[in-house]
Amino acid sequence: MSESFDAIVVGAGPAGNAAAYTLAQAGLAVLQIERGEAPGAKNVQGAILYADALERLIPDFREEAPLERHIIEQRMWVMDDESHIGTHFRSNDFSRPPHNRYTIIRAKFDKWFSKKVQEAGALVICETTVTGLLRDGAGKVIGVQTDRGDGAVYAEVVVIADGVNSLLARKAGFRAELAPKDVALAVKEIHFMPKEAVESRFNIRAGQGVVIEMMGKITQGMMGTGFLYTNTDSISIGVGVMLSDLMAQRLTPWELLEQTKAHPSVQPLLEGGEMKEYAAHLIPEGGFHAIPRVFGDGWVIAGDSGMFVNAVHREGSNLAMTTGRMAAETIIDLARAGLPMTAEHLAAYRRRLDDCFVIKDMKKYKDLPDIFHANNQFFTTYPELVNGAARTMLTVDGVDKRSKEKEIFACFRERRSLFGLLGDAFKLWRAFR
């Protein structure tokens, strides 16, 4: 394989697939390399697919993509050991096509997306690990080294879309090692049951789905969240916590997952299901401040490898597709103008990102990770307090409501000073604003 291509894309996740698809559609000679047996074999997600990012690439994806259920209801649960209090938002509006959010199963979805990439004309090679970037004397990236055949393949530009660990970017010195405070570990299981069981448990019709986001005691004081998503005939259940918190305590990730599954609000939803897979994956949650340099001579970075995840809104795959597409559009512009793939010209990629929702949203929440790190009461004290407050108000026991209010207020004051409460409210307001 000593051939040369216009572009090499490393990785066949949403970022790599969006890039390879866009490049191939524009007629560039594209080689895409994936280490899994098939695209998706290494990938883990909750998983919610946001229609918009994919629609911009493949407008009629709804007709053929393997989608599980469209989301009509979102639940947010704040939990203590025994209870949850929360909000449900359900709207018939979400039942009308075109739907804007779906649950997916990544192994199936990535395989489908890759088929579209191949139809668009890219050469896709699986079961091949890229072991390093090839560079010329001046440091410009000129291709990649793989663990197949004689290994070296050359291209004008390399799109690095190898996911959160990005061994390639790290080895080349384009990115530092991940810091434990910038990544979460998520563990999840998939439980199969008849689709009628899913529909009756969640009060939904065929094709409709529910997502539940959970916070509070299930992460045992660690910064993190749990999630439960309905697929066609299965349920995905998982929990994620920051590595900096995980490494400072004694519970293993699977014990944490077992506790989440055993919570009295969760357990009946899973009952009778057959567990068919246990998976784990990192999520980059360092936010805006963790984004590395995303371009250089002969290379660009897209998706998780560039730390493009909006943890507040659980958006990752859409940012991956958007950054992958924009990297490709930048390359196409340069190729058409006959310009070389140098850092100077590829800088247009970063400008594109700055001008769209990707960087704007990440900037908006730039201080939130630090606030949550420094204030673990958001994951411990508050969930207990609000559940306690609800329990007090809803227990009919002959105590008048005003006394109950006083009791609740006293509880809050006792656990956290009035000053602390106001301060927390202010911090959150500033960060979400």
Ligand X SMILES: Cc1cc2nc3c(=O)[nH]c(=O)nc-3n(C[C@H](O)[C@H](O)[C@H](O)COP(=O)(O)OP(=O)(O)OC[C@H]3O[C@@H](n4cnc5c(N)ncnc54)[C@H](O)[C@@H]3O)c2cc1C
- Residue 185 binds which entry of ligand X, other proteins, none, with Cβ cut-offs from 5 to 8 Å by kind? other proteins
Q: Which of 163, 273, 287, 298 binds ligand X (CB under 6 A)?
A: 163
- Burial of 401 by CB count in 10 Å (0-12 exposed, 13-18 middle, 19+ buried)? exposed
CB 383 within 8 A of CB 80: yes
Residues that bind other proteins in the complex, under the rule CB under 8 A:
35-38, 40-45, 47, 105-108, 110, 126-129, 131, 146-148, 164-165, 167, 177-180, 183, 185, 187, 189-190, 234, 243, 246-247, 249-255, 258-259, 262, 275-282
Least Å distance, CB 289 to other proteins, is 17
Binding mask 217-246 for ligand X (x = CB under 6 A): ---------------------x--------
Of the pair 26, 256, the CB lying nearest other proteins is at 256
Contact set for ligand X, span 301-320 (CB under 6 A): 303-305, 309, 314-318, 320
Q: Which does 331 bind (CB under 5 to 8 A by kind): other proteins, ligand X, none?
A: none
**Whether 225 contacts 240, CB under 8 Å:** yes
Buried b (16+ CB within 10 A) or exposed e, 23-34: bbbbebbbbbbb
Residue 279 C-beta: closest distance to ligand X, Å: 8
- Minimum gap (Å) between residue 54 Cβ and ligand X: 10
Which residues are bridge partners to 208 per DSSP? 70
Nearer to other proteins, 247 or 394 (CB): 247
Pairing, β 101-104 against β 141-146: unpaired
179/399 with CB nearer other proteins: 179
Task: Tell the residue number behind the tokens 């009919």, with chain if given.
Answer: 396
Reduce the DSSP state of residue 196 to 3 states and report it: helix
Q: For tokens 């199936």, what's the residue?
A: 108
Residue 181 or residue 415: which is nearer to other proteins going by CB?
Answer: 181
Closest to other proteins by CB, 45 vs 225, is: 45
Spatial CA neighbour of 211 closest among 236, 228, 195, 196: 228
* Identity of the residue, 239 or 389, whose beta carbon is nearer to ligand X in the bound complex: 239
In eight-state DSSP terms, residue 178 is: P
State the nearest-atom distance from the C-beta of 189 to other proteins, in Å: 7
Which of the choices ligand X, other proteins, none does residue 107 contact, using the CB cut-off of 5 to 8 A by kind? other proteins
Rounded distance between C-alpha atoms, residue 191 and residue 212, angstroms: 15
Beta-strand pair 30-33/123-125? parallel
- Residues 48-87 interacting with ligand X (rule: CB under 6 A): 48
Query: Where do the H-state alpha helices sit in 84-229?
Result: 106-119, 167-171, 195-202
Output 44 or 353, the one with its CB closest to other proteins. Answer: 44
